[in-house]
Amino acid sequence: MSTDTQAPAPQDENKLIAERRSKLDSLREAGPAFPNDFRRSALAGDLQRDYGDQDKESLEAAGQSFAVAGRLVRNRGAFLLIQDVSGSIQLYIDRKGLDEDTLAAIKSWDLGDIVAAEGVLHKSGKGDLYINMSTARLLTKALRPLPDKYHGLADQEQRYRQRYVDLIVNESSREVFRLRSRIIAFIRNYMAGRDFMEVETPMMHPIPGGATAKPFVTHHNALDLDMYLRIAPELYLKRLTVGGFERVFEINRSFRNEGLSTRHNPEFTMLEYYWAYADFEDAMDLTEDLMRKLTQGVLGTTTVTYQGQDYDFAQPFRRMTVFDSILHFNPELTAHQISDDTQAREVLRGLGVEAQPGWGLGKVQLEIFEATVEENLDQPTFITAYPTEVSPLSRRNDDDPFITDRFEFFVGGRELANGFSELNDAEDQAERFQAQVAEKDAGDEEAMHFDHDYVRALEYGMPPTVGEGIGIDRLVMLLTDSPSIRDVLLFPHMRPE
């Protein structure tokens, strides 16, 4: 049996592939080379869980037979190790109990092959479970060798490009995506438990909306119409709130035609929800409760360790305004300096950022915040009272129209969520859209279009509502201690090879 224990050089790999193809040719000549009539009776992980604590004598006395199947990942002489979705288990080559044809077939197996076996469950002297094979079959011939068993698939770019190989050989990668699935399932169940209805909204929009971002453009042939991949589901979800669905959520894929980084991917996943007769304070309370229960429910602890730093989700989350946070993290500044347009621009210039034409004081304050505050927001923190100028869909604060009833949620210096009391004044919304159009005309590719239908929807009346978007990918990064967003995406976008 080929062990393929060393990572082959390209010419050696071609030789190994040729040998495997020759074996496959022989299989085709003998009959069906890819049988599909085997049915297993047990998973490896279930056997380990249910029988791992039993002693050798008890298992031998029980004489229970099981049918198992999986990928051949180790050759240990008389023992083979197979891996299925749940874990791994050994197969014992019983030379007295297997016929000559089966022994010959097993000898031709290679690491990576999908194999099946049936036999009685035993335990070795070392305490390892194994199936004493009475029958054995090859189900799928692998034509390419697996990576070096000692080093795995170490090249990071190759792990992203060939995720299927990464998942075969790296248990840590498999665990990240199992955990991602559990996180999303927990969030879905949490929202349903609070009477939110899960909905689906279009992924192709006639005009982009719901966020300030550069969209991807496609073309609808039947309608002969340019359309945009959704940058956010917000405006459609709020249309549903107008229609009377008072609590809705969508775990959605959104697309933004922007740069790649360890925190950004053009295609990403969000939880977005809308809640009628609630405000941004209620949404912050919900977010805090969700995060605390999520960490406890999925990780078994409310202390999350990310890249060597512990984050405590059990303590009440800190809440600060944009304005107060700037002063808190920049003690050399005064309230007057960041309240006066001229002086605020000077502060920003001192940070190496030149205010652009058309920027008001709100935009300048946000730039100061992003340059000096965000990276310092380590423990779970809500930042509130964002300037109206940079919050085109948010409700103005009743006492101070310069700011909105909006928050962003930060952990480890990274934004994980954005929420606000919704703007349900149709005339105010039309004015905000018009201001965005002016910015677009001035060259801002991320500014919003004027959505006439959405304004019309608001004219029918939307109840007081709060909405929030939570970035699933960044949340999974945090909870799986993954340094790059590509580590938590099964198939991240990359340049073609």
**pLDDT means over runs of 10, the chain (497 residues):** 54 87 95 95 97 94 96 94 97 94 95 97 94 97 84 76 93 96 98 98 90 89 94 95 98 91 90 98 98 98 97 98 98 97 97 93 97 97 96 92 97 97 94 85 78 95 98 97 96 86
- Listed in order, strand segments (DSSP E) in 343-448 are 381-384, 406-411, 414-421
Residue found by looking up tokens 């982009």 in the block: 208
User: Which residues does 227 contact at the CB level (< 8 Å), separation at least 6?
Assistant: 204, 205, 206, 217, 218, 219, 220
Does 415 belong to an annotated binding site?
yes
Q: Residue 59: which H helix or E strand, with range?
A: helix 56-62
Q: Do residues 274 and 247 touch, judged by C-beta distance below 8 A?
A: yes
Q: Would you state the structure tokens that stand for residue 166, as one six-digit string?
A: 């990464």
Sign, CA torsion 350/356/361/367 = negative
Q: Would you state the structure tokens that stand for residue 375, as one six-digit string?
A: 């990276």
Q: Would you state the structure tokens that stand for residue 23, as one six-digit string?
A: 């074996």
Does 408 belong to an annotated binding site?
yes
Cα–Cα dist 176/171, whole Å: 9
* Rounded to 5°, angle at Cα 276 from 275 and 277: 120
324 residue type, one letter: D
User: Which residues does 46 contact at the CB level (< 8 Å), separation at least 6?
Assistant: 86
SS3 label, residue 389? helix
Torsions phi, psi for 485 (to 5 deg): -60, -25
Q: Would you state the structure tokens that stand for residue 252, as one six-digit string?
A: 């959605």
Sheet hosting strand 414-421, strand order edge to edge: 197-198, 247-255, 267-276, 465-471, 414-421, 406-411, 381-384, 318-321
Q: Are strands 129-140 and 87-92 parallel, antiparallel or unpaired?
A: parallel
Look at residue 6 in the predicted model and tell me its pLDDT.
47
